[in-house]
């Protein structure tokens, strides 16, 4: 199999395939079976990745899924439960079953149907089905039907998958980045150490090799393809990088709070409330990027008014004025 095939399996798809495989059997799967059968690991193995690297990837994936609330269970030797050399892993299906006494109103069912309309038994990808056939071929019982995961829903920027792949492989990346206040994008060359979510937006944290300092980049401002280079860096640099990045973002946001007046019961009130603090004149919301925050506030239209700072208010007015001009000057 060509070495480039592994790049076609995005990290998030590998996680989905892993969950599907671990939900597919009651007795669990060994690490060797997972690495050989689950799409995402299998291709990495075929492209020359060492078993040690694959095992570390699996351990990171396992912890990532657990942090998302997926209950991955480890089953050791019955004679010696502490012996994990032949441990099996599974996701107990009972953890996902709703209690029998739960009922939904017609409106709730309509909303759930709208949100999950693309979920069905047929939503399993071809790769996931191939993996299940391989597991069956090993003589491991697989329960049917298995509810698949929607392949059509994605809320992440295009740069997310290659950046996560580069982090896993400890490789340097380059990408064009549009800095706030800049007139044109600049190519950045960084050692990517962590992807973090802050203010419902994804950021990549790493060492900017162009300036020799740590920097955090908003994925929304990456305006071109992420190129994964052959240059590598010490994987130990990733340790604690996520926590360090989030602490830095929190410090920046704390210095850039906005005082807002928001109409109650509106979309703006709902979305801003989760990161806002009450203030005498309305709410105070911290933010990291003035231009991106101005885009968000402008999208709410008359539902929100910026009291301060003045530069944020002017940025929002500028966007609303431009929108009105495009729509024929309507107020």
pLDDT at residue 145, as a whole number: 41
Q: What are phi and psi of 260, to 5 degrees?
A: -125, 145
CA 84, CA 212: separation in Å to the nearest integer?
Answer: 42
DSSP string, 224-285: SPPEEEEEE--GGGGTTHHHHHHHHHHHHHHTSEEEEEE-TTSHHHHHHHTT-EEETTEEEE
Closest CA to 10 of 172, 166, 114, 161: 161
- Tokens 């740069």 locate to 159
With a cut of 80, say whether residue 256 has pLDDT above it: yes
Q: Give me the percent of the chain exceeding a pLDDT of 90.
A: 26
Confidence at residue 87, expressed as pLDDT on a 0 to 100 scale: 86
Beta strands in the chain (DSSP E): 29-30, 73-75, 88-90, 171-177, 186-198, 201-208, 213-218, 227-232, 257-262, 277-279, 282-286, 304-308
Q: What is the mean pLDDT of the chain?
A: 78
Q: What was the pLDDT predicted at 22?
A: 85
Tokens of 149: 């995961």
Residue 76 burial class via C-beta count within 10 angstroms: exposed 0-12, middle 13-18, buried 19 and up: middle
| pLDDT of 31 over the 70 cut | yes
- The CA distances from residue 235 to 171, 186, 194, 197, 218, in Å, are 9, 26, 11, 21, 22
Half-sphere exposure of 253 (CA within 13 A, CB side): 18
Pairwise pLDDT comparison (76 vs 109), residue with the higher score: 76
| pLDDT recorded at residue 146 | 40
pLDDT in tens, 112-153: 555 544 444 444 455 555 555 555 555 555 554 444 444 433
CA distance linking residue 250 with residue 330, whole number of Å: 38
Provide the pLDDT for residue 283.
92
**At a CB cut-off of 8 Å and minimum separation 6, what does 7 contact?**
165
Residue-level pLDDT at 127: 53
Q: What is the pLDDT of residues 138-195, one digit of tens each?
A: 555 555 444 444 443 344 678 988 998 999 899 999 999 988 767 789 999 999 999 9
DSSP class of 98: P
Residues 185-223: b if buried by 16+ CB within 10 A, e if exposed: eeebbbbbbbbbebbebbbbbbbbeeeeebbbbbbebbe
Q: Domains in the chain, ordered, with CATH?
A: 3-137 (no CATH), 160-252 (2.30.30), 256-326 (no CATH)
Q: Of 90-104, 199-213, 232-246, which range is least confident?
A: 90-104
What is the reported pLDDT for 39?
78
Q: What's the pTM?
A: 0.51
What would the two tokens of residue 67 be?
């942090």
Each residue's pLDDT tens digit, 86-107: 788 988 866 655 566 666 666 6
**Looking at residue 36, what is its pLDDT?**
82
Q: Is the alpha carbon torsion for 48, 168, 133, 26 positive or negative?
A: positive
Contacts with 112 (C-beta within 8 Å, 6 or more apart), sequence order:
104
Residue whose entry in the numeric block shows the structure tokens 């996931």: 128
């Amino acid at each position: 199999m060509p070495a480039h095939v592994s790049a076609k399996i995005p990290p998030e798809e590998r996680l989905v395939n892993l969950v599907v495989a671990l939900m597919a059997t009651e007795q669990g799967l060994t690490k060797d079976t997972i690495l050989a059968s689950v799409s995402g690991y299998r291709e990495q193995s075929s492209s020359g990745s060492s078993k040690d690297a694959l095992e570390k990837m699996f351990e990171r994936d396992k912890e990532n899924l657990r942090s998302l609330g997926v209950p991955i269970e480890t089953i050791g030797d019955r004679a010696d439960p502490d012996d994990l050399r032949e441990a099996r892993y599974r996701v107990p299906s009972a953890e996902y079953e709703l209690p029998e006494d739960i009922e939904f109103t017609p409106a709730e069912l309509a909303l759930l149907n709208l949100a999950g309309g693309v979920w069905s038994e047929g939503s399993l990808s071809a790769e996931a089905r191939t993996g299940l056939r391989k597991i069956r071929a090993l003589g491991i019982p697989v329960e049917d039907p298995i509810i698949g995961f929607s392949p059509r829903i994605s809320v992440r920027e295009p740069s997310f998958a290659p950046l996560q792949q580069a982090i896993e492989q400890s490789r340097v990346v380059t990408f064009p980045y549009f800095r706030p206040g800049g007139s044109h994008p600049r190519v950045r060359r960084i050692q990517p150490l962590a992807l973090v979510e802050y203010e419902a937006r994804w950021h990549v944290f790493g060492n900017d090799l162009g300036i020799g300092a740590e920097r955090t980049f908003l994925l929304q401002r990456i305006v071109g393809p992420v190129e994964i280079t052959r240059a590598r860096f010490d994987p130990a640099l990733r340790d604690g990088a996520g926590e360090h990045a989030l602490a830095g973002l929190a410090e920046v946001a704390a210095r850039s709070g906005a005082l807002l007046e928001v109409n109650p019961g509106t979309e703006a009130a709902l979305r801003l409330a989760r990161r806002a603090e009450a203030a005498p004149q309305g709410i105070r919301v911290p933010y990291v990027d003035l231009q991106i925050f101005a885009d968000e506030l402008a999208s709410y239209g008359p539902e929100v008014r910026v009291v301060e700072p003045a530069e944020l208010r002017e940025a929002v007015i500028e966007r609303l004025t431009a929108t009105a001009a495009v729509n024929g000057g309507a107020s």
